[in-house]
Amino acid sequence: MEDHILDLLPQEIASLLLAERIQKYRIDQLLNWIYPNLIIEPEQMTNLPADFKKKIIQIFDFRLPEIIKKKKAGDGTSKYLLKLADNNLIEMVIIPNLGKTTLCISSQVGCSRGCKFCATASLGLKRNLKVSEIVAQVYLAKRILKDKKLTNIVFMGMGEPLDNLPNVLKTIQILQHEKCFSFSPRRITISTCGIIAGIRKLAESDLKVKLAVSLNSAIQEKREELMPVAKLYPLAELKNALLSFRKETAFRITFEYVMIKDFNMGKEDVKALLKFLGDISCKLNVIKWNEVAGLPYKSPTNADVEHFMKAMEKLSSAITYRQSRGAEIAAACGQLAGNY
């Protein structure tokens, strides 16, 4: 099976084509079509000779996932269901907000981590996404947006990114490469449920990227109830790994806290959270739980949120209440499960 063109860094594409005695300027033309011009179909590359097009079609796969469904919310958030070459389905979400446009991308078909509040967990894990399948989500989003700039990319869609770390790391290399999308490290965030081995490997990779951790409780027993991964990676061990990670990056760690009524918003929850975050250079994002049919949790009221935020004012780090986007089309955090 031929390599997909989006699986490869520019130097890897060049190496394969130079071995075929292709002139370097032709390779540069090819890359210019694919990335700056967002033309991946060889037949549309008008300044390439027919024999070169025939050659690259033999060497590379150029197919993109098919957009088979789209939903748009009143707030402008759009959710897309993509069909992969093997007929598996994934989702991506485009979120416009206050002059920024964020793309939420998937890294796996389903997820194995079983977080109790997340709809994707109900799917189980089918497989990891290939590099090309992750890059293709960015590719498609940029085509959809046309002249409107894509400003941020978050690995917060379906799957646990650190369970597919080699492919996620190479994807980020491609996204940041000057001959590809030249994305700033400040504009790319990997979100994890707390895979310690993956956090350490990410630190060792020397790749510049932001890290977000889905925390949801700083009380071990409660976190285990919500997130089975906490039994494998207890809070104390997770914190040590994050303190080590923080030494290797210029970016503060972001903690994500899904507020669930009558579960993780009480006095003891606030006290534990303040203690856990107190000595970490970080940001805390809090968000209401987005209701998922069949799950036993409740979303807090605005008064509940106001009370929780007031109690968290003692935190020395920045805290942000993030409004859910796209909840009406099941496109918000924790809702991605192919429901249209």
Give the residue numbers marked as catalytic: 91, 333
Question: CA-to-CA distance for 30 and 48, rounded, in angstroms?
Answer: 8
Side-chain-side CA neighbours of 120 within 13 Å: the count stands at 26
Residue 321 CA to residue 205 CA, distance in Å, equals 31
Q: What share of the chain is helix, strand, coil (3-state, %, to 5)?
A: 40, 20, 40
| Residue pair 57/17 in contact by the 8 Å Cβ criterion | no
Instruction: Spell out the residues 6+ positions from residue 98 whose beta carbon is closer than 8 angstroms to its own.
Output: none
Instruction: Give the CA distances from residue 277 to residues 219, 237, 314, in Å, rounded to whole numbers and listed in that order.
Output: 12, 14, 11
Biggest CA-to-CA distance, the chain: 70
Helices 267-277 and 302-311 pack at an angle, to 10 degrees, of 50
Cα distances (Å, whole numbers) of residue 260 to 85, 269, 301, 303: 38, 11, 10, 13
Q: Hey, what amino acid is at 300?
A: P
